[in-house]
A and B are shown apart, each in its own frame.
Chain A
């Protein structure tokens, strides 16, 4: 079974631009979560989607948004990029039931210059 796939692997953007990151979950998984990883703040939860609905949201500004499609694929968007948005963005999927664990992708490395 294929794992969680994130595209692109690397991205370089300029301050003020916007960016869209993509995540394809493991087949059959209905829940997708996004995390931001930085050396200073570590891993921080962004949001979780289940069956196209946002189920939980972390403490990030409104510039960070996401969505989930009917095939469970998910995208996250960051508008008006700031230098501090440079990070590794990790997507994770789970079946969405009971205590099923998260399975992470390899991440998208975003650099804002």
Chain B
């Protein structure tokens, strides 16, 4: 079946460290890929997305490239800040009948950034 696998957390980094959160997927067809972020007590916010192979999504210093050959969509940031502390979710969509309203999420990776 279709699924998303994320690296398990929690991940603890010092401020200004380099961040990588791994995400791989299994899907039939050509899904779109997303990274969402969830801050404590809030819903999910879209961080970035990519809709086809080799697309690079970027936002707020975060980047991820849609790699069809390795079925991956790893999230990276060159220099994290304390304010980046949150839970990050990788997701895919567009699998069922082309609808992008139903996402399949990974389990989430909690990131804590220490000053």
Q: A residues engaging B (CB < 8 A)?
A: 4, 31-33, 35, 42-45, 48, 50, 55-56, 58, 90, 92, 94, 96, 99-107
Per-residue 0/1 for B84-99: is the Cβ within 8 Å of any A Cβ (1 yes, 0 no)? 0000010000101101
The CA-CA distance from A111 to B74 in the complex, in Å, is 34
Chain B interfacial residues counted at CB < 8 A: 25
Interface: B71 (CB within 8 A): no
CB contact between B105 and one of A32, A42, A100, A107 (< 8 Å): that residue: A42
Determine the distance from Cα of A102 to Cα of B44 in the docked complex, in whole angstroms.
9
Q: Which residues from chain B contact A99 at a C-beta distance below 8 Å?
A: 32, 49, 51, 94, 100
C-alpha gap A35/B101 in the complex (Å): 10
The DSSP consensus for interface residues of chain B is: loop
Q: Which residues does B use to contact A, with CB under 8 Å?
A: 32, 34, 36, 41-46, 49, 51, 89, 94, 96-97, 99-108
B89: A residues at CB distance < 8 A:
43
